[in-house]
Amino acid sequence: MNILTAINRFDKNNYLDFLVHFPEQIQFAFDLDIPEEITANREIHNVVIAGMGGSAIGGELLQSLYSHELTIPVNVVREYNLPGFVNSKTLILLSSYSGNTEETLSAYKKADKTGGAIVCITTGGKLAERARKDGHPIIFLPEGYQPRAAIGLSFIPLIRIFQKIGFLNDKSVDIKETVKLIGELSHKYSPENGELSEPLHLAQKIFGKIPIIYTGPSPFEALGTRWKCQFNENAKVLAFNNRIPELNHNEIIGWDKEFAQLEDLFVIFLRDKNEEQPINRRIEITKELIAKLTNEYTDITSMGTSILARAFSLLYYGDFTSFYLAILNKKDPSEIDNIIYLKNKLQQPSSP
């Protein structure tokens, strides 16, 4: 089936539109108003970013990409509770696109008791309602996105906040480069290019297999999580990720010709064009070990100059690949039936 015909048939909620207009989303997010009161008379010793799913990955990206630059601890919380160290000198950023995420609302309730500086990033819902009532600043996001498709909206405002309180240098030049690069890639990866789209080629290779995504450590390890989650939600397939050098101390032993179920696996190495020599060497040796067992693997290398542009070039490649894999799997990328089922069950009274 022609890819454009297949997209018209299976992309019932037009997820492709989010991908095509991603450059504009990045710029829009950078131009959002950041409330002045966020940093009013505050001494901040650490930061906690609380969220789930697509609303949490922005925090993980910031933590990962700028770990070399940040001079205070930054923790990402993907659950109901907050770490015990949270106190009046903690900046607590609560991110929920819908504003109704159960775990994030629980974290908000606990955060409000600590005396920490609270900022909510949301489109509205109960989170905005409670923040208004309690007098905490809110960064309002535009509605109409799938949370995972709003990665620019959940990530870029964090950069602005960290700039505002002096924990990151100005990133406006990096944003400009990233918007330009992603705009170029949008045309290159578009289904209008047909078989010339590299993410489509990768999706065709992955089709019928389980993707395993391997990255280096920070600043790019969060991209493995992003790729995995996009394969899960968009393409409706299991996927797994890990990072080098950690996997060289455990997971590499699992690559055994008797037990690895090699025929079901496809490995994707996410590479940085500027990766450090020790990581480069470890990746190459890891590939040698895998190549003894299978040829079902590939490298994807970053593009751009700034760390932000290089990271987003890989992120965008993965988003398009998961979209095309959804279409090859004859699935609507926007559907999340299992998540909806789980949420509905959680709202029902527990059995005695």
Q: What is the pLDDT of residues 166-181, one digit of tens each?
A: 899 999 999 999 999 9
| Contact assessment for residue 327 and residue 11, using Cβ atoms and an 8 Å cutoff | yes
| Contact assessment for residue 275 and residue 310, using Cβ atoms and an 8 Å cutoff | no
In this model, does residue 352 exceed pLDDT 70? no
In this model, does residue 10 exceed pLDDT 60? yes
Q: What is the pLDDT of residues 307-340, one digit of tens each?
A: 999 999 999 999 999 999 999 999 999 998 888 8
Q: DSSP labels for 10-69? A: H-TT-HHHHHHTHHHHHHHHHTS---GGGGTT----EEEEEE-GGGTHHHHHHHHHTTTT
Question: Would you state the structure tokens that stand for residue 14, as one six-digit string?
Answer: 């037009």
| Contact assessment for residue 93 and residue 38, using Cβ atoms and an 8 Å cutoff | no
Q: Can you give the pLDDT at residue 110?
A: 96
Q: Which of 200, 197, 171, 153 has the alpha carbon at shortest distance from 21?
A: 153
Q: Can you give the pLDDT at residue 43?
A: 87
Question: Quick one: pLDDT band at residue 346, thresholds 50, 70, 90?
Answer: confident
Question: Quick one: pLDDT band at residue 347, thresholds 50, 70, 90?
Answer: confident
Q: Which of 158, 171, 166, 152 has the alpha carbon at shortest distance from 62?
A: 158
Q: Which residues are catalytic?
A: 233, 249, 343
Amino acid at 20: V
**Pseudo-torsion of CA 184, 186, 189, 190, nearest 10°?**
-130
In this model, does residue 349 exceed pLDDT 80? no
**The pTM is what?**
0.94
Task: Output 195 or 239, whichever has higher pLDDT.
Answer: 239
Tokens 């799913």 belong to: 53
Question: Would you state the structure tokens that stand for residue 131, as one six-digit string?
Answer: 């923040």
Domains delineated in the chain = 3-170 (3.40.50.10490), 194-328 (3.40.50.10490)
State what percent of residues in the chain have pLDDT above 70.
98
Amino acid at 223: L
Please report which helix (H) or strand (E) contains residue 74, including its range: strand 74-77
As to burial, measured by CB atoms within 10 angstroms (0-12 exposed, 13-18 middle, 19+ buried), residue 244 is buried
Q: Can you give the pLDDT at residue 351?
A: 59
**Could you give the CA distance from residue 93 to residue 131 in angstroms, rounded to a whole number?**
12
Q: What is the pLDDT of residues 14-52, one digit of tens each?
A: 999 999 999 999 999 999 988 877 765 678 999 999 999
In this model, does residue 102 exceed pLDDT 80? yes
Question: Quick one: pLDDT band at residue 341, thresholds 50, 70, 90?
Answer: confident
In this model, does residue 2 exceed pLDDT 60? yes
Q: Can you give the pLDDT at residue 280?
A: 97
State what percent of residues in the chain have pLDDT above 90.
86
Q: DSSP labels for 259-278? A: TS-GGGEEEEEEE-TT--HH
Question: Quick one: pLDDT band at residue 244, thresholds 50, 70, 90?
Answer: very high
Q: DSSP labels for 340-352? A: HHHHHHHHSPPP-
Q: DSSP 3-state assignment of 301?
A: strand
Mean confidence (pLDDT) of the chain: 94
Question: Would you state the structure tokens that stand for residue 173, as one six-digit string?
Answer: 């030049």
